[in-house]
Amino acid sequence: MEFLVASAVGVLTAAGIYLCLRGRTFPVVLGLAMLSYAINVFLFAMGRLVIDRPPIYEKGLTEYTDPLPQALVLTAIVIAFGMTALVVVLALRTYLETGTDQVDGLPDSKTDRLEP
């Protein structure tokens, strides 16, 4: 099971980095979202979930689930949603201002040729 979770985190991270290095804005937004998903899965896996144990310490109970990783992931999901909405609005505004969705703001014809 650990190998499966570690592989999922690795694949999400690799896909996120690949998409962040693309030349268009929409793949960059998807890459940032995938990176945030990878971080969330990593944080959640660090919590070492204990099955059938309460998340609150009770007197006489020796094992309990740590609620901190779950709270961190929930907070990270909310922050990632807000940041994704902001980046989408900024990308849309840039597209409306420049007329292209290239990250550098140049039209497609100017990105094909190299300038000294």
Q: What is the pLDDT of residues 91-104, one digit of tens each?
A: 899 888 888 888 77
Indicate the DSSP class of residue 106: -
Task: Assess if residue 80 is contained within a domain.
Answer: yes
Confidence class for position 108, pLDDT limits 50, 70, 90: low
Instruction: Determine the pLDDT at residue 114.
Output: 47
pLDDT in tens, 26-67: 999 999 999 999 999 998 888 777 777 777 777 777 777 778
Task: Assess if residue 112 is contained within a domain.
Answer: no
Q: What is the pTM of this model?
A: 0.76
Indicate the DSSP class of residue 102: B
Q: Which residues contact 87 (CB under 8 A, 6 or more apart)?
A: 29, 32
Q: Distance between CA atoms of 87 and 29, rounded to whole angstroms?
A: 7
Residue 72: give its domain's CATH number.
1.10.287
Task: Assess if residue 82 is contained within a domain.
Answer: yes
Compute how many other C-beta atoms are within 10 angstroms of the C-beta atom of residue 15: 16
Q: Is the pLDDT of residue 5 over 50?
A: yes
**φ and ψ at residue 24, rounded to 5 degrees:** -105, 160
Task: Assess if residue 28 is contained within a domain.
Answer: yes
pLDDT in tens, 76-89: 999 999 999 999 99
Q: Distance between CA atoms of 33 and 36, rounded to whole angstroms?
A: 5
**Helix (H), strand (E) at residue 45:** helix 25-46
Task: Assess if residue 114 is contained within a domain.
Answer: no
Q: Residue type at 89?
A: V
Task: Assess if residue 36 is contained within a domain.
Answer: yes
User: What residues make up the domain containing 8?
Assistant: 2-107
Task: Assess if residue 7 is contained within a domain.
Answer: yes
Task: Assess if residue 25 is contained within a domain.
Answer: yes
Handedness of CA 20, 21, 25, 30 (dihedral sign): negative
Provide the number of structural domains found in the chain.
Answer: 1
